[in-house]
Structure 1
Amino acid sequence: MADTASAGGEIPRVEGDVEVIAASTSITLDEPICCAASSQHLLREVIRTGFGVLDLKSSPRGTDMFAVAGSNGNLVFYFIQNINGVYLREFCSIDLCRGSVIITYLDWVSTVGEKDKIAMACSDGTLGVVHFDARDPSSCSSTSFVSIHIQQAWYVAWDGFDEQRLYSGGDDAHFCTFEDPLIVLPRTNQGRGPSDEAIADFQPSVRDKRTHTYGVTAIVPIGKGTDGESIVLTGSYDNRLRILRRRKAVLSWQTIAETDLGGGVWRISFLEHLTNIQEALSTGVSFNIRLVASCMQDGPKIVEVGFEGDSNWSIRTLARVPGHQLNYATIAMPHQTDHGPRTLVSTDFTNRQAHVWRF
């Protein structure tokens, strides 16, 4: 949590922190949707970072390690361990960007063996990829940076249904698709990737400039249709949540459903597992799946996405969560099944609060 200035100029020193909060998944609330009592959720530990925290991602391997994107351009790894009441331990820090460039978003995936990779979006419009040993991130083997967006890059996402595909979105309203990025990202530095050395002439395989009227702030791949074409959800400053389909023949994206959520759609997080969605999409079987959208000034919203086969998609808003002035993040706590009430945690940037609630 931190206060940050515009990424366009010099960024003043900011003091952020990483907090560990214990929240029970068995709480009982008086309302179907509301903020839970503070006594039910305990702040375990706070670590002052000395930099603003722009994003945090857990290891995809299910370990207790997570990575933090810092306003100082560093990628910092922590462990969560309960040792004599001390929960957080810093593992290592990798210096990646120089000057006023900050890392705005991370996407961490595992690859073959013990190798992992993290894709990064940066405030100067560049994208970066860091490769490292999953057991020891300080063993960073290579970093690659490319100049893609003409304004801040807000989001980057690996396609979990096509391991050689990468997506990005920026303040320039461009939605970019990259094929085989592990091969074509050209610059390699041992443990360091300064943004002022980024390759300027590298271009994505598809650069969509028409779909979004304002910045692209969320990209979530959900699978491939019966024709093998990719399906993704996107969020934007233009208040719209969209479902897009890749059209291979003309190298473009088609909007197949969209809705106005009344606030800038900063982040999207699914409440159910996506493991069965790919099979349903590929066979044309109907399904409904719920997600939560962080709609900035309009707060979190529970949304249902429906698929009825033959490219017939629908989006409807189920509920709006009150009590937020500026909501940048919402996530559902782990749950064994997709049925029953869910416990969610959301943030309010303006009030510097974390809300815990049930749906």
Structure 2
Amino acid sequence: MAEDEVKIIQSLKSQTLDLPPSCVEFCPAFPSYFLVGTYSLQQPESIGQEGANSDSGAEEDGQSSQPKQPQSRNGSIITFQLVDGNVTHVQTLPQPSALLDLRFNPHDGSRDVCAVVSSTATLALFKLSPDEEQPLKHLNTMDIAAMSHGEIEPSPGEEILFLSFGWHPSRADMMAITASTGHVYLVHLPTFDGNWKLNSEPVITHMLETWCVAISHVPTGPEQPEDTEEAGVLSSFRVYSGGDDSMLRFRVCDWDKGNFSGSLPARESRGHDAGVTAILPLFREEDGQELVVTGSYDEHIRLFSVPSLPFGKPKNLAESGLGGGVWRLKLIDLDTTSNTDYSWRASILVSCMHAGARVVELLRTASGEYRFNVLGRFEEHQSMNYGSDFQPGWKDKLSVVSTSFYDKLLCLWEVEMV
């Protein structure tokens, strides 16, 4: 189906927020609730309004009589409830730093716990309790220096921003965090109220800012059980990251008795024409290859096959231009039951920056061809669509909340899923 033949979706509701939204996610424990993280760059009065919320920091003539100062940013976490097509504001928690990523823990027993990372290299946890008058409660916040026990501290005038993070797929107490320095760090959270450990040695390093990270199980051999998550038992997983250096990098890591290690150096894929901004591991095929979807500033969504062997190279199986930078990928549904039309099928919600949002189908046809198809387009956003998510528990119709940055717009829309 040609792009101009795809159905353009209209919003059901929209509203303007107080601060620019950078991320949004529904709570898997309480599906009627969702959180929006915001990001505001506070400009000096002399700069004026032009360039507000720009992080370039460049001087027009390359010279400045003033010493460079860290830029001041703040933000908030806004709690909303979506019931019967109505979006209701519940609570706003101002934050001393701007928020760049926000994700609920995906594991049973912890799905009401949300983590956020910020412009001052902090990690904070919150708990959503809808029965309380103020349902979103702060649990704890730690910065990069505290978590690394002082081994990582910004130099005077230097900034370290946490840009994104990803939870471990089977451990509720692990995550990977990316930084503006190009580093990817592993974090252990034995309890949610403190005593977190950030390994000061990065597991992966990019030449420029690291925009995204994801953790998946590394494919195991037949003699190695996949469920080896008990305390003290060696457990392997693969970390993927994408950076402004146009690289998709990945590394196999081990977790053993509370310590992280990597037996082999990180590997890289050069299959992108601009910065890698989103990563979505899908599943492992029968031959051991892992299927991974990526997004890039070059406006393309791609499917890679990553070999289980440590020295193999990823193979680009399919790609499609979506008309905007592919900033975020959220899996809607994955069907691996083969039929006469396809051997497997995935549907994905895509935040496409200046092009709005897309609902995309990815499948492997019965003949073995890999294909992306756009099922729906939402294009009412007039600026960068960084955050989009759908309400859990959907059946035939998907309720989606999407946001855009500079115009501070939040929209509710629906798409039929067939």
Report the TM-score when normalising by structure 2: 0.71
1:340 has 2:396 as partner: yes
1:163-194 Cα deviation digits (max 9, x unpaired): 511100000001111012547x9889xxxxxx
Matched, 1:206 2:267: yes
Please give the per-residue CA displacement for 1:26-46, whole angstroms capped at 9, x wherever unaligned. Answer: 32xxxxxxxxxxxx2111000
| Whole-Å separation in 1 of the counterparts to 2:291 and 2:367 | 13
**Structure 1 stretch 239-248 or stretch 138-147: which is displaced more?**
138-147
Q: Structure 1 pair 161/343, CA: closer, same or farther in 2 (3 Å)?
A: farther
Aligned to 2:73, the other structure's residue is in SS state coil
Q: Which runs of 5+ in 1 are unaligned?
A: 28-39, 189-201
Which one of the candidate residues 123, 126, 143 is aligned to 2:199? Answer: 143
Higher percent of residues as helix:
1
Counterpart-to-counterpart distance in 2, 1:310 and 1:137: 51
- Structure 1 residues 1-359: aligned runs within 5 Å: 1-4=38-41, 5-6=54-55, 11-24=70-83, 26-27=84-85, 40-61=86-107, 62-82=110-130, 84-96=132-144, 98-99=153-154, 100-109=159-168, 111=170, 116-133=173-190, 135-146=191-202, 148-160=205-217, 162=219, 164-182=237-255, 204-208=265-269, 210-247=270-307, 251-272=312-333, 274=334, 276-277=335-336, 286-309=343-366, 311-324=368-381, 325-335=383-393, 339-359=395-415
C-alpha contact 1:161 1:223 (8 A) present in aligned 2 = no
Per-residue CA distance 1:222-252 (angstroms, 9 max, x = gap): 1122321111000000010001112457621
Task: Measure, in 2, the Cα distance between the counterparts of 1:175 and 1:261.
Answer: 19
Structure 2 CA distance, aligned partners of 1:186 and 1:335?
A: 37
* Deviation at residue 211 of structure 1 after TM alignment: 0.3
Pair member with larger Rg? 2
Q: Kindly tell me: are residues 215 and 22 of structure 1, through their superposed partners in 2, closer, same or farther at Cα, counting changes over 3 Å? A: same
CA distance in 1, matches of 2:162, 2:198: 17
Q: Distance in 2 between matches of 1:267 and 1:311?
A: 27
CA distance in 2, matches of 1:111, 1:41: 32
Could you tell me how far apart the structure 1 residues matched to 2:268 and 2:367 are? 26
RMSD (Å) for aligned C-alpha atoms: 2.8
Cα gap change, 1:271 to 1:10, in 2 (>3 Å): farther
How far off its partner does 1:94 sit? 1.2
Distance 2:70 2:211 in 1: 17
What is the CA deviation profile of residues 261-301 of structure 1, one whole-angstrom value per residue up to 9, with x for unaligned ones?
110001111222x4x53x769xx962332211111000001
Residues 187, 248 of structure 1: CA spacing in aligned structure 2 closer, same or farther, 3 A cutoff? Answer: closer
Distance change in 2, residues 1:83/1:289 (3 Å) = closer
Contact 1:130 1:144 in 2 (8 A): no
What one-letter code is carried by the residue in structure 1 that aligns with 2:320? T
2:222 alignment counterpart: none
Tell me by how many angstroms 1:12 deviates: 1.2
TM superposition shift of 1:91? 0.5
The superposition leaves residues 97-119 of structure 1 with CA deviations (integer Å, 9 ceiling, x where unpaired) of 5431111001112656xx61110
Contact 2:168–2:216 (Cα < 8 Å) also in 1: no
Contact 1:69–1:104 (8 Å) recurs in 2: yes
**Hey, what does 1:32 align to over in structure 2?**
none
The answer for unaligned runs of 5 or more in structure 2 is 1-37, 42-53, 58-67, 146-152, 220-235
User: Compared with structure 1, are the counterparts of its residues 171 and 186 closer, same or farther at alpha carbon in structure 2 (3 Å cutoff)?
Assistant: farther
Cα contact 2:186–2:199 (8 A) shared by 1: yes
Moved more, 57-66 or 297-306: 57-66
User: Matched residues, percent identical?
Assistant: 24
Deviation at 1:256, TM superposition (A): 0.7
Q: Following TM superposition, by how much is the alpha carbon of 1:152 offset from its aligned partner in structure 2, in angstroms? A: 0.1
The alignment partner of 2:380 has SS state of coil
Task: Note the alpha carbon deviations across 1:127-180, whole angstroms, 9 max, x for none.
Answer: 1111012x4341314534416101000011001565511100000001111012
Distance 1:7 1:127 in 2: 22
Amino acid at match of 2:315: Q
Secondary structure at the counterpart of residue 150 of structure 1: coil
Taking the aligned partners of 1:141 and 1:91, their CA distance within structure 2 comes to 16
Distance in 2 separating the partners of 1:83 and 1:314: 45
Secondary structure, in 3 states, of the residue corresponding to 1:264?
coil
Contact 2:169 2:217 in 1 (8 A): no
- TM-superposed deviation, 1:85: 1.8
**What is aligned with 2:50?**
none
Corresponding residue SS for 2:207 = coil
Are residues 145 and 280 of structure 1, via their aligned partners in 2, closer, same or farther at CA, if it must alter by over 3 Å? Answer: farther
Bigger relative contact order, structure 1 or 2, given CA contacts below 8 A and separation 6+? 2
CA distance in 2, matches of 1:23, 1:160: 33
Question: Which structure 1 residue ranges, 4+ long, deviate > 6 Å from structure 2?
Answer: 185-188
